[in-house]
Amino acid sequence: ASSYILFILFRHEKQMKGKRSSDRNQDKSAERQAAKTVVTLVVLYVFFFGIDNVVWFYQISKSNEINHFVTNLRLFVTFCFPSLFPFIIIFFNQKLRDKITCSVSK
């Protein structure tokens, strides 16, 4: 699904390349920013999902022992992605950052 989203973004960027004003920086196009966000979110999801699976397989292999540290580690890793997700969206979205900065400074 994320590959399809990236494909759509890059195709849209090609279609819009000639239609945008020339003073706009093409390196920071909306499609490129969206693609960076999608790639970052997918990489983080796969990373945390992979760690969770490794810890889960370890926990299954040692099923005769209950290790609370391993259980807590799994819970921590499971909640890392949902906890980081909003901050990543804020980091990559300049308009959202500006609104948050403006509301904080009031």
Summarize pLDDT for 26-42 with one digit per residue, the tens: 556 777 788 888 888 88
Q: What is the token pair recorded at 75?
A: 């819970």
Q: DSSP for 19-73?
A: TS-TTS-GGG-HHHHHHHHHHHHHHHHHHHHHHHHHHHHHHHHTTTS--HHHHHH
How far apart are alpha carbons 43 and 81 in whole angstroms? 10
Q: Please give the pLDDT value at position 79.
A: 93
DSSP annotation of 93: -
Q: Please give the pLDDT value at position 53.
A: 94
How far apart are alpha carbons 32 and 35 in whole angstroms? 5
Q: Which residue has the higher pLDDT, 68 or 32?
A: 68
Is 0.85 surpassed by the pTM of this model? no
